[in-house]
Amino acid sequence: MAIDRIFKDEASEEKGERARMSSFVGAMAIADLVKTTLGPKGMDKILQSTGRGREVTVTNDGATILKSLHIDNPAAKVLVDISKVQDDEVGDGTTSVVVLAGELLREAEKLVAAKIHPMTIIAGFRMAVECARNALLEKVVDNKGDTEKFRSDLMNIARTTLSSKILSQDKEHFAKLAVDAVMRLKGSTNLESIQIIKKPGGSLIDSFLDEGFILDKKIGIGQPKRIEKAKILVANTAMDTDKVKIYGARVRVDSMAKVAEIEGAEKDKMREKVEKIIGHGINCFVNRQLIYNFPEELFADAGVLAIEHADFDGIERLALVTGGEIASTFDNPESVKLGHCDLIEEIMIGEDKLIKFSGVAMGQACTIVLRGASHHVLDEAERSLHDALCVLSQTVNDSRVLLGGGWPEMVMAKEVDALARKTPGKKSLAMEAFSRALLAIPTIIADNAGLDSAELISQLRAEHQTEGCTAGIDVISGSVGDMAERGICEAFKVKNAVLLSATEAAEMILRVDEIITCAPRRREDRM
């Protein structure tokens, strides 16, 4: 009996079979949870938080769904993590990663039950992944040289990414927005300079891309509404420090005249500061903090447009876009870099007034304004667009492209199967399992569309026996279709990341043979 007492009272451990069972089951449950969101006919999930306000999120993005879940099962957490990493790394394929890892484990479970050692399975999986990657590498298309073709590739990728999201109805429109925005980045993957503004009202098709920078602020009273050839000073400084408002400061005066003197002194200090700022030769002043009414008057008199409370990401971006720097002291004007743009004007979107900076120094920046019926729609549209932007910006750098619609999985499965037949020993069983797991992705895409997956997959497999075949699942017509013709493309980088992450996660979970859960801390009674 004494041996059992290594752990504290509440701690529990699961060994061998039970531990493996529990981790397999947890991981498969997570995979089943998101697998209905896969593919163009995938469904959305409503996530309702139990916090204050009971916020509701409607989403189809695997990473968003899994991020919002609170999960107890340790193996399931591994899957949540890989989907997060996939989201940060390439932006799309978050659902596929989880589904693939889940399927690999489902197959591995059968092998473990058949008394094959997990290490053997892992060795088999490793060989299979190598083989699958090489199969993809042989089939990639790279149109980097030909701008027209490359642009159409990007359009196809954007359409394919968006077709499983809420934007699928207007995917032409949004694919164009996304490609335009990314082409302006000229190869940087920094999505900071693409700003997305969400304004409820209108419908999704009213969304547009603006080649400039839009600041979600109003122009102050009595100030010029429109400035051409603007010189902009972006600042982060308090325009109210010059009032006597130190906490608990008491000023005793013996007459009202003295109060007036103090106020006069305050005004003079403010005026001095404003004059220093105007001394930079600017005609637009954007501040992160507030500007008092008095300095605002002074700015208006000098014909300078003053914008207060521009939020932090607002001014950071503005500085980035106009090529200025954020200043906080104004004593030596020659060292401050001012921002420039051709025109500042006020525009209306819906019923909100916004300030638009056009003709900015950095051509990379642009603003996408999303319109939609409700906040939920807008949030989801933003997530979908963000996915598309991520994938596109990655593709601009790594321009290798594959066909979509279950085609890459079929190609990989075929190669892996061929390798398994040549490999002696138990590893070959693991490889066959790997190819079955790959086939699960097209199967699920077909299932979500309500098609007869078994029939379709066997047809696909037969088609893929011929060299240079481009067949995949055409969900719209519900049959095997030609992916090249339909223009269904995916980025190689996404597929590659999916393959590697899913296999590594599955390996990690396979290696587990014991789960030790710690005892919860007891709260001492302080009574």
- Cα 130 to chain center, whole Å? 28
User: How confident is the model over 49-75, as pLDDT tens digits?
Assistant: 777 777 888 888 888 888 888 888 888
> 143: Cβ–Cβ under 8 A, 6 or more apart, which residues?
149, 150, 153, 399, 401
The pLDDT tens digits of the residues spanning 197-216 come to 888 888 888 888 887 778 77
DSSP 8-state code for residue 166: G
| Most trustworthy range by pLDDT among 16-30, 39-53, 210-224, 330-344 | 16-30
d(CA 432, CA 163): 31
pLDDT at 1: 47
Residue type, 403: L
- Average pLDDT over the chain reads 83
Two structure tokens written together for 91: 């932006």
pLDDT digits (tens, 9 = 90+) for 255-312: 888 878 888 888 888 888 888 888 888 888 888 777 777 778 888 888 888 877 777 6
pLDDT in tens, 76-118: 888 888 988 888 888 888 889 999 999 999 999 999 989 999 9
The pLDDT, as a whole number, for residue 522 is 67
Token digits of residue 125: 């999986």
pLDDT in tens, 474-498: 888 888 889 888 888 888 988 999 9
Pair 120, 508: CB distance under 8 Å:
no
pTM metric for this prediction: 0.81
What residues are labeled active site? 61, 94-95, 387
Structural domains of the chain in order of their starting residue, each with its CATH number: 12-141+403-517 (1.10.560.10), 147-205+368-398 (3.30.260.10), 213-362 (3.50.7.10)
Q: Which amino acid is at 152?
A: S
User: Cα-atom radius of gyration of the chain, to the nearest Å?
Assistant: 30
CA–CA dist 291, 238 (Å, integer): 7
Q: Region 444-466: what's the mean pLDDT?
A: 89
DSSP 43: P
Q: Is the pLDDT of residue 244 over 80?
A: no
